[in-house]
Structure 1
Amino acid sequence: MYTVVVLALPDLIAFDLATPIETFGRVRLPDGRPGYQVIVAGADDVVDAGPVRLAVDHGLDALDRADLVVVPGRHDSLRPSPLTVVEALRVAAGRGTRVASICVGAFTLAEAGLLDGRRATTHWLVADELARRYPSVRVDPDVLYVDDHDVLTSAGASSGIDLCLHVVRTDYGAAVAADAARLAVAPLHRAGGQAQYILRNRPSPRTASLEPVLAWIEANAHRPLTLADLAAAANTSSRTLTRRFTEVTGQSPMQWVSGVRLRHAQELLETTDHTVDRIASRTGFTTTSNFRAQFQNVVGTTPGAYRRTFHS
């Protein structure tokens, strides 16, 4: 039996705490024995978890007997972690204990230096911030989880379930993991990655300086557009527009147009029964094959699989 220690940090996200407790705690082996002992530990006896307060029965010395330490996310992911927690994580990882994070718990692992030089993921909304703060981390915002040997990270919320089931499959095999998935009423493996949940190329406060041309793109993305068309709409030169887009969005103008087209296509897949051919035509893609290829490359799944997941 493996021992899983789930860390209860200040400002804890309760869902992230419950995910490993429930997923690992319900695992049963073929002979009926539990697969995991789950312990909740922290630096404080009581921690805030949004609208509730939680009593913590075990201190950080519980990490000494852990086979896996799970770090849930916190509402303020940029808030520094307690130094005692950071040091305890370093010591645990140093002796070979597996360490995992749920959602923005990756920031705590990065703060402890455990993601340096590694591939990792977190919630797509803060993936850029994780990469900015910790440039030595190879942040992949498109996947549901990353297994980098003894350090594992997951994306937002329910991706923590995907990661926990992956750990069960690694520890005990597919049959035990499938039983755990049935108890969690969750798929053992989800098609696609986090990329399919990302809202692409939407105007935001950081793109305010480009607002007129972005609004024009929103209204005209279905048309066959060129860089010259965008520059004319922005009343500037193609060179100046490209420079401004790169500075503000990190993308070229035509890359932004492609992202808008994909978002419009996602919306149609979610809300209509239009054929894929019709959606491709209505959203500005030159051919259906081009649309399918770009959708698969960026969203990480096919238009049909996306519709089956998200159609209302």
Structure 2
Amino acid sequence: MDLPDSICTEVAILCYPDCQLAAVYGLTDLFRIAGEISRDRADGETTPAIRVSHWQLDAFGAEVVCTFDSHPGRPHRLGYVVVPPSLIVPSRMQPMQTLVSWLLAQHGNGTRLCSVCAGAFLAAETGLLDGRDVTTHWAFAAELAERYPQLRVDADRMLIDDGDVVTAGGILAWTDLGLTMVAQQLGPSIMLDTARFLLTDPPGRLQQPFIGFVQRRDHGDEAILKVQNWLQTTNARDHAIEMLAGRAGLGERTFQRRFLKATGLRLTEYAQHIRVAKAREQLETSRRSIEQIAWDVGYGDVSAFRRIFQRLTGLAPADYRRRFGAVLQDPEEPLVPTIP
């Protein structure tokens, strides 16, 4: 079905040597099914679709080329690029500098970098994972942390969404990644119907009736994209306009105008979304108190944190934890108490 560019989000899957083809074709099928469900629901009206393309080195190993396109005949505009699992252990993966350079170029254009399982090793070669929480297969976690000490490896988590970089854990975690993308682009209802059709569990963190913060990164403003990357890496702890305008190489008023145009949010609002997204992750996966979490994400005033969190998520932090917390609790040991 031919669809106009304006309603196609493109997911590029990188087919590197010895990658898991089940993930390549499984993701392709998953996105096609999601698109068909979305179209059937719309009853003939125009609906968003996820365009899928496959990319690999040419016969000379000199250039990365497209070998499959679900919606051919128009310029590529990659929203995501996925590095699938490897069928060989990381220590035997080949050096792939051409692919690394290609990944860096795509990310520089606003593409979100995603990896699954041992694909994290190829993604880590870009340096874009430095200073971030990332995940991979539990069997490779120690090696990933040793080889790339700048990473914070958390093998207990199935999927970590850090805005412009997303990492998924086990070799079949491509289903979690794919369904997460469907939820972000087509909505949580389509994601759940897709999971039901595939007879697979939806990602636990996305069974909620609202979607996490999805940053606009394909706007083409390189100065603003640079600031977005810095805010994500630092959890927006410092978002002073003067400092960020300097990082962008712009005057303050010009910076604010271009930031709003590119992201759709004012700087303070953008920083709040990043901080609340980090708080949501900690509420879902840790037993830390709400006060500790508020302080960790940059709020000295816990009352202000509660107000902002509820405004952005629709739930108070304690209610959010009760509803979506994944940490198993000893029935005789309460969670760390919080101030009412």
TM bucket, shorter chain: 0.5 to 0.7
Aligned partner of 1:105 in structure 2 is 119
Q: Distance in 1 between matches of 2:51 and 2:165?
A: 20
Deviation for aligned residue 1:123: 0.2
* Secondary structure class of the residue paired with 2:202: coil
Percent identical among aligned pairs is: 34
Q: Distance in 2 between matches of 1:133 and 1:88?
A: 22
* Secondary structure class of the residue paired with 2:118: helix
* Secondary structure class of the residue paired with 1:67: strand
* Secondary structure class of the residue paired with 1:40: strand
Q: Which contiguous aligned blocks of 4+ residues in structure 1 show a shift greater than 3 angstroms? A: 44-47, 299-304
- Alignment of 1:85 with 2:99, yes or no, is yes
> Do 1:11 and 1:74's aligned partners in 2 also have CA atoms closer than 8 Å?
yes
Distance 1:168 1:115, change over 3 A: same
Distance 1:46 1:153, change over 3 A: farther
1:295-306, aligned counterparts within 5 Å? Answer: 300-301=327-328
Q: Which amino acid aligns with 1:156?
A: G
Q: Which amino acid aligns with 1:13?
A: Q
Aligned partner of 1:22 in structure 2 is 29
* Mean CA deviation greater in 130-139 or 81-90: 81-90
- Matching residue within 66, 77, 94 for 1:65: 77
Deviation for aligned residue 1:190: 4.2
- Alignment of 1:163 with 2:180, yes or no, is no
Q: Distance in 2 between matches of 1:85 and 1:45?
A: 14
Aligned partner of 1:135 in structure 2 is 149
Q: Distance in 2 between matches of 1:8 and 1:108?
A: 12
> Do 1:102 and 1:157's aligned partners in 2 also have CA atoms closer than 8 Å?
yes
> Do 2:55 and 2:66's aligned partners in 1 also have CA atoms closer than 8 Å?
yes
- TM-score, normalization: structure 1? 0.54
Deviation for aligned residue 1:303: 9.3
> Do 1:12 and 1:73's aligned partners in 2 also have CA atoms closer than 8 Å?
yes
- Matching residue within 16, 23, 27 for 1:9: 16
Q: Which amino acid aligns with 1:83?
A: Q
- Matching residue within 125, 140, 144 for 2:158: 144
For residues 100-122 of structure 1, the C-alpha deviation after alignment (integer angstroms, 9 at most, x for no partner) is: 11111011100111211111100
Aligned CA RMSD, in angstroms, stands at 3.0
Deviation for aligned residue 1:16: 2.5
| Structure 1 residues without counterparts, runs of 5 or longer | 48-54, 192-298, 305-312
- TM-score, normalization: structure 2? 0.50
Distance 1:63 1:137, change over 3 A: farther
Deviation for aligned residue 1:23: 1.7
| Structure 2 residues without counterparts, runs of 5 or longer | 1-7, 206-325, 332-340
* Secondary structure class of the residue paired with 1:19: helix
Deviation for aligned residue 1:80: 3.5
Structure number with larger C-alpha Rg: 1
For residues 13-54 of structure 1, the C-alpha deviation after alignment (integer angstroms, 9 at most, x for no partner) is: 22222332122222122326562111111013599xxxxxxx
Count of matched residue positions in the alignment of Structure 1 and Structure 2: 188
